[in-house]
């Protein structure tokens, strides 16, 4: 199975800050990488797929980059509604696997 390692596990930030989350795959997954936002009590929401394609309706302050084994999710200017947990997931092969999550907290 492909292991997905996210860092950091949590980050404290203020509104307006730039936040960067990294995700590393245990083997080459090309650009078969998606990012999800999860707010407790709600269903997870797709933000980015194909490593860098912004899902329709997602604000442009979210961006993704990377290929192969190293990937990044960036929130350019954190907004109050962005405080949540973020997960990367590889879609290169079955079984699909998720990173452990990064909790973005209010500073």
Backbone angles phi, psi at 80, to 5 degrees: -55, -35
Asked if residue 6 lies in contact with residue 23, where contact means CB atoms within 8 angstroms, the answer is yes
Q: Is residue 37 part of the contact set for another protein (CB under 8 A)?
A: no
Residue 1 burial class via C-beta count within 10 angstroms: exposed 0-12, middle 13-18, buried 19 and up: exposed
Q: Is residue 44 part of the contact set for another protein (CB under 8 A)?
A: yes
Phi-psi region of 82 (alpha: psi -120 to 50; beta: other; left: phi over 0): alpha
Q: Is residue 61 part of the contact set for another protein (CB under 8 A)?
A: no
| Listed ranges 10-18, 19-27, 34-42, 68-76: which one lies at the site for another protein (CB under 8 A) | 34-42
Q: Is residue 86 part of the contact set for another protein (CB under 8 A)?
A: no
Positions that interact with another protein (CB under 8 A):
1, 32, 34, 36, 38, 43-46, 49-50, 55, 85, 87, 89, 91, 94-101
């Amino acid at each position: 199975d492909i292991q997905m390692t996210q860092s950091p596990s949590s980050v404290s930030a203020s509104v307006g800050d730039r936040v960067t989350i990294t995700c590393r795959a245990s083997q080459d997954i090309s650009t078969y990488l998606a990012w999800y936002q999860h707010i407790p009590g709600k269903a997870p929401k797709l933000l980015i797929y194909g490593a860098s394609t912004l899902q329709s309706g997602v604000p442009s302050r979210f961006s993704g980059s990377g290929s192969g084994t190293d990937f990044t999710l960036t929130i350019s200017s954190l907004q109050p509604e962005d405080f949540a947990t973020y997960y990367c997931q590889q879609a290169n092969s079955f079984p699909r696997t998720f990173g452990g999550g990064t909790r973005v907290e209010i500073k």
